[in-house]
Amino acid sequence: MAVIVQKYGGSSVADADAIKRVAKRITEARRAGDDVVVVVSAMGDTTDELIDLAHRITPTPPLREMDILLTAGERISMSLLAMAIANLGVHAQSFTGQQAGVITDDSHGRARIIAVKADRITRALSDGNVAIVAGFQGVNEASNDVTTLGRGGSDTTAVAIAAAIGADVCEIYTDVDGVFTADPRIVPTARKISRISYEEMLDMAASGAKVLNLRCVEYGRRHGVDIHVRSSFSAHTGTLVTDRPRPEGDPMEQPLIAGVAHDRSEAKVTVVGVPDVPGTAARTFEVVAASGVNIDMIVQNVSAAATGLTDISFTLPAADGQQVIEALTSHREEIGYDSLQYDDQIGKLSLIGAGMKSHPGVSAKLFGALRDAGVNIEMISTSEIRVSVVTRADQLDDAVRAVHTAFDLDSDEGEAVVYGGTGR
């Protein structure tokens, strides 16, 4: 008998029929003898609808009240799911974040889980219930105020509960079969990855693969929770995110490359003509950091000797572009640059694989594949297990396909799959 946490996203519980389908899957696991905890997101577009409603009231909703509002969504989905399970003859009880003991800091709208006091959950399990837990929400310890974890927070709830109760596995159900070597909408021959390390999965998620939330993978790594990403529409095994050694007799070797991720959501800022003296970069990024924006890649060119000036380019979420341009503009004299360039027509391709640590020549092969495909590289950034390049946005798909093929990731089968987000 295993202890299993299952997490279902908004698209898996979008309406009454979907909830009944999910309930059936849950009761099957329970009847097979497992203890089952289910973490559930709000139904379909509920969260977006509630946000719209708030913005019809005020352009600047207080964050504390916004969190109370949004958590109504899981309250609805979790109680309906408990009803649907009960209707199939299996005992079920639903629990809010507060009741499930999900304690967070008090950063409304993007709270971090600091503890999970799961005694009600373990008691519900030992009483023979399936325990349904509201994803995405918790309460802060000081004032018992409701908090939310931000987009994708239900994944984190699931892994945190799994860690707290010592679950054997945390299953994240989504609308795709798992994590793929590339987005199958772009690369029809992309393969499902059967097993991937936390580190690789983190780099995949940070590089644009949307199937798993970054913080959930971090939490899983820190607490050693095996995460099984799989489809709520099929019984197929999905992708196991784990650092455990492969079982004896597993014929698979650690592959060189886990996959090719891409990201179309970034923009590039170039600070043109800054003095090439110590401290310029520091000042520039102090200004950017003070604006509260996370940046991604940074490139500084060699300075032209004649002028003593250089350019600094960096990428950031395009949604934050305006904010950073305003911050830099208001500090122009202090930084001492000539001009700013802003470009949101870029794409980022990332090649990820722990295997590349011990294989020289990965970058060279990547650049060669892009050259052969006629794709120009605008920025390059590398880490131990990742190489990322920035291209024109309209060349990104060609780039992903070329690299996927060059590294022998194409499947022979080319099964039709749909690749998308996981709700939250």
Q: Binding of a second copy at residue 61 (CB under 8 A)?
A: yes
Strand partners, 8: 40, 173
Question: Which residue's CB is nearer to a second copy, number 93 or number 231?
Answer: 93
Q: Binding of a second copy at residue 119 (CB under 8 A)?
A: no
15-34 residues in contact with a second copy (CB under 8 A) are 16, 19-20
Structure tokens at 176: 């795709």
Q: Binding of a second copy at residue 103 (CB under 8 A)?
A: no
Region from 68-76, 231-239, 294-302, 372-380 binding a second copy, contact rule CB under 8 A: 68-76
- Among positions 4, 36, 84, 352, the unique one binding a second copy when judged by CB under 8 A: 84
**Residue whose token pair is 């929400």:** 137
Question: Which residue's CB is nearer to a second copy, number 144 or number 358?
Answer: 144
- Among positions 126, 144, 294, 358, the unique one binding a second copy when judged by CB under 8 A: 144
Who contacts 102 (Cβ-Cβ below 8 Å, separation ≥6)?
A: 113, 116, 133, 137, 138, 139, 157, 160, 161
Q: Binding of a second copy at residue 137 (CB under 8 A)?
A: no
**Residue whose token pair is 């019809």:** 56
Q: Binding of a second copy at residue 405 (CB under 8 A)?
A: no
- Among positions 98, 137, 280, 310, the unique one binding a second copy when judged by CB under 8 A: 98
Q: Binding of a second copy at residue 12 (CB under 8 A)?
A: no
- Find, among 173, 143, 148, the residue nearest to 158 by Cα: 173
Rounded (10°) angle between helices 63-70 and 46-57: 140
- Among positions 54, 272, 327, 373, the unique one binding a second copy when judged by CB under 8 A: 54
Q: Binding of a second copy at residue 111 (CB under 8 A)?
A: no
Q: Binding of a second copy at residue 380 (CB under 8 A)?
A: no
Who contacts 75 (Cβ-Cβ below 8 Å, separation ≥6)?
A: 96, 134
Structure tokens at 120: 């009600």
Region from 12-20, 173-181, 185-193, 369-377 binding a second copy, contact rule CB under 8 A: 12-20
Q: Binding of a second copy at residue 69 (CB under 8 A)?
A: yes
- Among positions 1, 33, 60, 358, the unique one binding a second copy when judged by CB under 8 A: 60
Rounded least distance, CB 199 to a second copy, Å:
39
Region from 61-69, 183-191, 332-340, 344-352 binding a second copy, contact rule CB under 8 A: 61-69
Cβ neighbours around 354 below 10 Å, total = 19
Q: Binding of a second copy at residue 297 (CB under 8 A)?
A: no
Distance CA(268)–CA(279), nearest Å, equals: 21
Rounded least distance, CB 7 to a second copy, Å:
19
Site size toward a second copy, by CB under 8 A: 39
- Among positions 31, 32, 62, 339, the unique one binding a second copy when judged by CB under 8 A: 62
Site string for a second copy, 31-50 (x = CB under 8 A): -------------------x
- Among positions 37, 38, 40, 82, the unique one binding a second copy when judged by CB under 8 A: 82
| Contact residues for a second copy, defined by CB under 8 A | 16, 19-20, 50, 53-54, 56-58, 60-62, 64-66, 68-69, 71-73, 75-76, 78-80, 82-84, 86-87, 92-94, 96, 98-99, 144-146
